[in-house]
Amino acid sequence: MKKRIVVSGLGIVSPIGIGKDKFAQNLKAGKSGVSLIEHFDTKDFSTKIAGVVKDFNPEQRIDKKKIKRMARFAQIGFYAACEAIEDSKLDLSKENLSRIGVITGTGMGGLGVMEEEVATLIARGPKRVSPFLIPMIISNMLPGEIAIKFGFTGPNYTTTSACSSSNHALGDAMKVLQAGEADVMISGGSESVISPLGLAGFCSMKALSQNNDHPQEASRPFDQNRDGFVMGEGAGIVVLETLEHAQARGAKIYAELIGFGASDDAYHITAPDPDGRAAILAMEAAIKSAQIAPHEIDYINAHGTSTTLNDKIETFAIKKVFGAHAKDIPISSTKSMTGHLLGGAAGVELIAIIVSIQGGFIHPTINYQTPDPECDLDYVPNVARERQINIAISNSLGFGGHNTTLVVKKYD
């Protein structure tokens, strides 16, 4: 028998709210966090909008001196981790810290810092480059900083697989706990690359929506008039524990992780396989590892990026996996509100599922106005739906063909 793995703490920093309560409120209300970019000049960019985290004050949880030595993705992720650990009510004075580990995901780490320091190198020479450049840009610094703060000496690393990074981290953390290598794991992901270079790169790929005049309507997954994704930033971090450890300390349990599947398209560096074969494999593997039947899934949090190819192919893959049952499964895209948080997306979307389970609702896919004949499932358009969720899956499909599916169950 596999050890049962439960979620006992939630921490979130997102474009639609910091903290689980505000996030849940805005998620249910269908509030968009997308706006015009204001922290740098976008005059020469084809896209001028993003899901930027507003009102973020790292000094609430991070020492001022340390803030200057942490890239924004690490600040956001560290803040969310502190919030999750506090929410879990772990008494670290009573824990074996060698049995607590950290695995988080990110796609590009401290890209903004690298950009700034390259400019310094060119303008002022190598001696003026920050001595903190390397530790600020490397993606593993977030779990390292969390471990240093709390003294966790268990398994500790970062997963990087583009938009699947956080789901890979959560899947690995779940396996570490199931294998008995730890009692508690801090996991999820963080991303913040809304910088001139990051935006320019995605603009050049023609991957982004250019609906600059109506920012809050730009991310429109599964809608026939979708024209690309909207960049976002944020972090979703959770505390995972074995069930016996959580019960022994009397922890509040939010949900249970019961399955995980992963695959790769082996097709193209950015475009998904038009046959959706590997996305199908990931969902099937997750369902098999959860030891459930496909008809038991009653909600899907889709990857749902608002790009022409992703939404069509994800819909096709879902229909192949679930057959006739696909028409009966409510599906929604958190990205319609937050934008695409890239490597941090799946951590935030897991928390979206959990607060929906807790609140008895399914959040909407906002901006769904014109049905697409090739996207013909139930995407919970525009308005939240009161509904009890028992078992849900979360899909993440990343550049490089990386596909991951996590299975989440209401705790019983």
The residue from 168, 303, 363, 402 that is catalytic is 303
Beta bridge pairs of residue 402: 264, 398
The residue from 168, 340, 363, 402 that is catalytic is 340
> Residue 412: its pLDDT value, please?
87
> Residue 2: its pLDDT value, please?
84
pLDDT-derived band at 116 (thresholds 50, 70, 90) equals very high
Helix (H, G, I), strand (E, B) or coil at 269: coil
pLDDT, tens digit, for every residue of 44-59? 999 999 999 999 999 9
Note whether 214 and 37 are within 8 A (CB).
no
Q: What percent of the chain has pLDDT over 70?
A: 100
pLDDT-derived band at 384 (thresholds 50, 70, 90) equals very high
pLDDT-derived band at 118 (thresholds 50, 70, 90) equals very high
Note whether 384 and 30 are within 8 A (CB).
yes
Asked whether residue 312 carries a pLDDT value surpassing 80, the answer given is yes
Structure tokens that stand for 14 in this block: 């997102």
User: Catalytic site residue 303?
Assistant: yes
User: Catalytic site residue 163?
Assistant: yes
Asked whether residue 158 carries a pLDDT value surpassing 90, the answer given is yes
Strands 402-409 and 391-398, by their bridges, are antiparallel
The residue from 163, 363, 375, 402 that is catalytic is 163
For residue 303, which of 203, 238, 221 has the smallest C-alpha distance? 221
Long-range contacts, 91-98 (Cβ 8 Å, 24+): 91/249, 92/150, 92/151, 94/249, 95/183, 95/184, 96/183, 97/150, 97/151, 97/152, 97/153, 97/154, 98/153, 98/154
